Amino acid sequence: MNEQTMRKSRWQTGMFLLIIIVLSYLSSAITAFNFVQGLATIPKALGWIFSNLMVTQESLEKLPKILEKLAETIFMSIAATTLAAVVSLFLGVMGSKTTKVNNFLSVFARFIASVSRNIPVVAWSLVLLISFGQNSVTGFLALFVGTVGFLTRAFIESIDEASQSSVEALTATGATYFQIVSKAVIPQALPQMISWVLFMVETNIRNATLVGILTGTGIGYTFDMYYKMLNYNAVALVTLCIVITVIVVDLISNHIRKVIL
C-alpha cells in the first residue's frame, strides 16, 4: 500500500460516512419519523413501563402456571435443538469439502441448510401453523427447521476447519470413509460443534417465546394471553421469568464451554 492508496481509502471512509448520514436523513423524511420527537417520548414511555409493568402480589399467584409453561418451552427448545443437531451432523458431514461423499449430496446439503436458514423462524411458524394447526408440534417444527439450517452451516465450517490434514493422513493409511469421519473428523470438531449446539439452545429459548406467540404454545402464548387481557402485572412476571431463564442458561452453557474447549 503506498501513500496515494492510503489517502484514497481515508477519503473513501469520509464519503461512506456522509452517505450514511444522508441516507438516514432521507429515510426518516420519507417515513415521516421525527427523531427528536422519538427521543422526547422516551421518558414518558419509561414512566409507563415502571407504573404498569410491576410484579404485584396478585400476579405472583399465577407463578406456578407460568413456570409450568416456561418448563414446557425450555424442554421444547432443547428437544428441537438436539434433534436438529443429529440431522445437521449428517448434513454437515455431507456438505463439508473434506468429508463429502459426492458433489450432488454436498450441494443438496448446502441447499437444505440455506433454504431453512434464510426463511426467518417467524415465517416458518406461520407457514407451519397453516398445515399443522395450533399445537406444540408446530412450535417444535418451526424451531427445528430453523436450527437445522443454522447448525448445518456451522458444522460444515467446524468440520472444514478441523479436519483437512488428518483426513489426508488417514486416507493414506487405507482407512475407510466411516473410520475417518468417526475417528478423526468428529473427535477434532466435536468441542466446536457442542459449542454451537449450546448457542442454539440459548437462541431457541429466546426464539421459542416469539414462536409461541405466533403458534399459540408455551410461554409465548401465556405472554400473549395476559397481554391481550391487559394484565400488565402478569406480563411483567412472564418477562422476568424469561429473562432469568435466558441468563441462567447462558451461564450454564458458558461454563460447559469452558470445560470442553
Binding site for other proteins (CB under 8 A): 165-166, 168-176, 178-180, 182-184, 187-188, 190-191
d(CA 216, CA 220): 7
94 and 101 in contact (C-beta within 8 Å)?
yes
Q: What is the DSSP string of 82-110?
A: HHHHHHHHHHHHHHSTTT-S-HHHHHHHH
Grid cell of 28 as nine digits: 426518516
CB of 165 to other proteins, least distance (A): 4
Residues sharing a CB contact under 8 Å with residue 9, sequence separation 6 or more, in sequence order: none
Closest residue by Cα to residue 221 from 131, 130, 125: 125
CB of 186 to other proteins, least distance (A): 10
CB of 163 to other proteins, least distance (A): 9
CB of 86 to other proteins, least distance (A): 17
Residue placing its CB nearer to other proteins in the complex, 157 or 224: 157
Q: Where are the alpha helices (DSSP H) in 133-181?
A: 136-173, 177-180
Polymer length of the chain: 261
Residue placing its CB nearer to other proteins in the complex, 66 or 93: 93
d(CA 21, CA 7): 22
Residue placing its CB nearer to other proteins in the complex, 194 or 225: 194
Residue placing its CB nearer to other proteins in the complex, 26 or 169: 169
d(CA 178, CA 176): 6
Residue placing its CB nearer to other proteins in the complex, 29 or 190: 190
Residue placing its CB nearer to other proteins in the complex, 64 or 174: 174
CB of 261 to other proteins, least distance (A): 10
Q: What are phi and psi of 174, to 5 degrees?
A: 95, 20
CB of 193 to other proteins, least distance (A): 12
* DSSP count for the chain of H helices, then E strands: 12, 0
d(CA 261, CA 248): 20
How crowded is residue 96: how many other Cβ atoms within 10 Å of its Cβ?
A: 27
CB of 189 to other proteins, least distance (A): 9
Residue placing its CB nearer to other proteins in the complex, 166 or 231: 166
